[in-house]
Structure 1
Amino acid sequence: MSVHGLTLGDVLGEHRRGRPLGLAVVDADVRLTYPRLDERVNRLANALAADGVGPGERVLWLGRNSFRILELLLAAARLGAILCPANWRQSADELTFVLDDLRPAVVVFEESEAAMQARARAAAPARWIAAGEEYEAYAAAGAPEEPTVAVTPDLPVLALYTAAFDGRPAAALLSHSALIAHAMAMLHIRQMEDGFTYLDCGPLFHVGTMMFCLATFQLGGTNVFTPAYDPKEVCRLIEAERCTQAFLFGPMIDQLVEANAGGTYDLSSLRFVAHSPEWDAMITVDDSPWCASTMGGYGQTEVGGMLTFLGLAPGGQGYAGRPSPLVHVRILDPAGDEVPPGETGEICARGATMFGGYWNRPELNAAKAAGGWHHTGDLGRREPDGTITFIGPRLRMIKSANENIYPAEVERALKEHEAVADAAVIGVPDPEWGQNVKAIVVLKDGASLTREQVVEHVRSRIASYKKPRHVEFAASIPKKGYTPDYDALDAAYGGGGYPGR
């Protein structure tokens, strides 16, 4: 082991020594100090090793938020293995794809109809362990000593499936060193201090929640887990655990204000961004660079979360701020040359927080890393003051309720219906959620479908939040070459509100 190396397992070991009374995890009745978490992680790692989990092997979590996600991640970290927390909201078809693509050695799951269907369909063999009593017995059977596996910081430890630009999701692989580097950048911008308590109420399969979970862990703070977002329960937990930060955005905050009408709960421990007079009166409005800049910037899973921060550019011209101190950003043209300030090109980056490529996607990895830069697939420009403006995806993306939805994935599901001859998807503005999905559908001669049938068909194949809320039937789809003419579709069917525009 190099004296310069540091893994997530090392961070946990240091917290065990340096924070023997520190509370690491709260999840319902589960309350774990760092020494207790360390022991459980060792036992779990040794149990996984007995099932053949070692360097490079994958462990899959199928379920809602739980302290077990962090526990499994740290156990994988001590074995040189990789944890993937899957999107539990996905359909059986989508989960089957993940199982066959990732080929995990062990799956820890919460029972659901989609998970059980995927288990029956998946071709890849795996050891399945039910979360709860079976998981507890499984972990308890492992030895308490730390595994003697040589793990280097450059090894991937976390896999997060990204939304599908081309209709097929891919798992971005993030290493120990990338996650630690990103956590350190978050600690700086958010000005996280000793005693920081984070409420994991957003999905942990999403980098937006995971990046704060890991930054809190890096600091030696407390992660409070709740299975899914519920306004009253979130209010209760903020008061009970004196939470400092949580995964929240506009509509969620409005729901908390409604749930706490009359001041039933004391939310003053929450140091958060200003939002409305009612909200600001309930919390402590935070003046850190992260919150003072409305938590803005530009990021994606492949960069560990955030690539640029508004908090590093107060008053700057660019809507995305300045890059993290641990990365370099360039705006490149299709030939790989940097464009002058003020001109639009692809946002490209390299540095300490970059991912190591996608699982089992060699051709995509080569394209993404062309010229020694990570090509984000997003357009931006460098402003005269050096800040960055995010323009939008090179391939069109819809953003609804903070979820990224790619037309190609929804269109693929639409076209799988035997009555559909062609289809295209656009985003239409929504005052509460940003955008909604609208499908434009061309039926085969003699076929008939209702709007409700179209929506249900898509819901049966992909996650429900990706389904169209609006359906229009048309005689044809305007094209640019072989692809839909999305500008013409937007003009004809009321599209707009795309991120960055």
Structure 2
Amino acid sequence: MIHSLTLSDVLAEHARSRPRETAAVDGDVRLTYPELDTRVSRLADALSALGVAPGERVLWLGQNSHAVLELLLACSRLGAVFCPANWRQSADELLFVVEDLTPRVVVWEPSEATTAARRAGPATAAWVRAGEEYERLLAGGVAREFAQVADTEPVLALYTAAFGGRPSAALLSSAALVAHSTSLLVVRQMEPGFTFLSSGPLFHVGTMMFCLATLQIGGVNVFTPAFDAEEVCRLVDTERVTQAFLFGPMIDAMLAVRPRGKYDLSSLRFVSHSEEWDELITVDDSPWCRSKMGGYGQTEVGGMLTFLGLAPGASGFAGRPSPLVQVRILGPGGAEVPVGEVGEICARGKSLFSGYFARPDLNADKFAYGWYHTGDLGRREPDGTITFIGPRLRMIKSGAENVYPAEVERALRSHPAVADAAVIGVPDERWHQAVKAVVVLGSGAEATAEELIGHVKGLLASYKKPREVVFADAIPRRGPAPDYDALDRAHGGGNYPGS
């Protein structure tokens, strides 16, 4: 395995070459690279004693924590797979993840949803409570040598793409993650001392990709449980944060607390947003920030497939592919379509995922003709750049979150009064889109909009629930599927990704 480089190997090298440099900060926890390396070895030994062998899964049910990085690196050391689940999900959604992933170990933070999932979940997993119990588990392990692991083995699982009503876990190898990190740190022009604040959720590839690129360059990863505007301002100030996971509404929330005069945000090298924001930070001139973090990506490609920063002044607003991938625009038969014509964005290369966990039929479809089929439509422009048109199947974008109509429709149809339902996205000034449901009640059945919204909220993460419900006599259809175009025209849908 002389050519292999796992995430565990990256950490082990930093422990030797950066013996006095900080690796992770989380509240009162401050770890140098050697300290992190020792903790990861102890944790890997302890997980092994609980039956975590190569290929087994470890699940995290909780908010952001240095434990997320430790668990990922420990799984890399063992050849196992780590999955940070979306802690904002309902008990029903989390139970699905537990039953689908069949983890050997679950590390969890108590909440109403995680507690319910633990009670209803299979008894085959060892459940370790985050905090003191996790620390006792880690302390009981032995820092020792482990067998080498091939970097092509899956190490990270992220649930995504619920087009069929339930999500699937995309499996990413160390080789793919290292390749993506390498591309990202070049486009972002990351340097030693780079400090990243995980202010977005680590179950989201947008946060995870920067966390891992920071690890790759030997920088400092700072963790906060979840976004809180004032706490993020404080951490930027005290830890001299270079970059954080932020988008428009989060920046606006920070601006609302910053005028109190407490915090120096000048270390933050970030994207221009507004005159007030630009005066507080250092507007960064890296290709990534100059292009407003533009490009095209998804979980299955490790984060970003194309970067607008690699194509200044380009015709295609998704830019050019990462240096470590190939992109083709393919038609239904697998042939490349001519320049200027719309087809499916397909790819292959170093940073692509290994397939979905336990989804052989889906994997066969996704890897047809020797290319990964993204499920998104695009166009190659005459200058060679890529334009993203939109999902081949319907998706709603609310803030930074993807909402799949099929998933919300499944929840609505589980209500005893609902005979049929369809979900569309409507323009929203703050969040880009909001979820709107069109519902057909059963004969003689009654239900209020508030009741149905509450029903969905009980089954899915709160951000997926409809903001508005309208009642109709029937759902227009194209064959078996709802006619979403007709629904958009009738009920004010719009602002879909790519539009």
Same structural fold, with TM-score higher than 0.5 when normalized by the shorter chain: yes
Q: Does 1:243 pair with 2:219?
A: no
Counterparts of 1:27-426 in structure 2, within 5 Å, are: 27-123=26-122, 125-146=124-145, 148-426=146-424
How far the C-alpha of 1:150 sits from its partner, in A, is 2.7
Identity %: 69
Q: Is the 8 A contact 1:100 1:124 kept in 2?
A: no
Give the structure-1-normalised TM-score.
Answer: 0.99
Q: Deviations over 1:367-405 (max 9, x none)?
A: 000011000000000001000000000001000011000
Query: Which amino acid is 2:421 matched to?
Result: A
Match of 2:478 in 1: 480
Q: Deviations over 1:280-333 (max 9, x none)?
A: 000000000000000010000000000000000000000100000000000000
Alpha-carbon distance between aligned partners in 2 of 1:34 and 1:378, rounded to the nearest angstrom: 40
Which of 425, 428, 433 aligns to 2:426? It is 428
How far the C-alpha of 1:163 sits from its partner, in A, is 3.3
Alpha-carbon distance between aligned partners in 1 of 2:247 and 2:115, rounded to the nearest angstrom: 32
How far the C-alpha of 1:264 sits from its partner, in A, is 2.2
Match of 2:18 in 1: 19
Alpha-carbon distance between aligned partners in 2 of 1:140 and 1:55, rounded to the nearest angstrom: 22
Query: Which amino acid is 2:298 matched to?
Result: Q
How far the C-alpha of 1:265 sits from its partner, in A, is 0.6
Q: Deviations over 1:133-191 (max 9, x none)?
A: 11101100000123x22300100000000030110110000001000000000010000
How far the C-alpha of 1:490 sits from its partner, in A, is 0.3
Q: Is the 8 A contact 1:349 1:374 kept in 2?
A: yes
Alpha-carbon distance between aligned partners in 2 of 1:89 and 1:99, rounded to the nearest angstrom: 15
Alpha-carbon distance between aligned partners in 2 of 1:102 and 1:150, rounded to the nearest angstrom: 25
Q: Is the 8 A contact 1:80 1:149 kept in 2?
A: no
Alpha-carbon distance between aligned partners in 2 of 1:124 and 1:413, rounded to the nearest angstrom: 26
Q: Which runs of 5+ in 1 are unaligned?
A: none
3-state SS of paired residue (1:143): coil
How far the C-alpha of 1:124 sits from its partner, in A, is 5.2
Give the structure-2-normalised TM-score.
Answer: 0.99
Q: Deviations over 1:336-369 (max 9, x none)?
A: 0100111000000000000000000000001000
Q: Deviations over 1:25-71 (max 9, x none)?
A: 00000000000000000000000001111100000000000000000
Query: Which amino acid is 1:127 matched to?
Result: A
Query: Which amino acid is 2:74 matched to?
Result: A
Alpha-carbon distance between aligned partners in 2 of 1:195 and 1:122, rounded to the nearest angstrom: 43
How far the C-alpha of 1:123 sits from its partner, in A, is 2.7
Q: Which runs of 5+ in 2 are unaligned?
A: none
3-state SS of paired residue (2:185): helix
Q: Deviations over 1:52-104 (max 9, x none)?
A: 11100000000000000000000000000000000001111111110110000
3-state SS of paired residue (1:260): helix
3-state SS of paired residue (2:355): coil
Alpha-carbon distance between aligned partners in 2 of 1:450 and 1:273, rounded to the nearest angstrom: 43
Alpha-carbon distance between aligned partners in 2 of 1:149 and 1:418, rounded to the nearest angstrom: 54
How far the C-alpha of 1:3 sits from its partner, in A, is 1.4
How far the C-alpha of 1:125 sits from its partner, in A, is 1.4
Query: Which amino acid is 1:144 matched to?
Result: A
Between the two proteins, the alignment pairs up a number of residues equal to: 499
Alpha-carbon distance between aligned partners in 2 of 1:291 and 1:78, rounded to the nearest angstrom: 34
Q: Is the 8 A contact 1:90 1:463 kept in 2?
A: yes
How far the C-alpha of 1:262 sits from its partner, in A, is 4.3
Alpha-carbon distance between aligned partners in 1 of 2:330 and 2:173, rounded to the nearest angstrom: 26
C-alpha RMSD of matched pairs (Å): 0.7
How far the C-alpha of 1:263 sits from its partner, in A, is 3.4
Alpha-carbon distance between aligned partners in 2 of 1:142 and 1:350, rounded to the nearest angstrom: 39
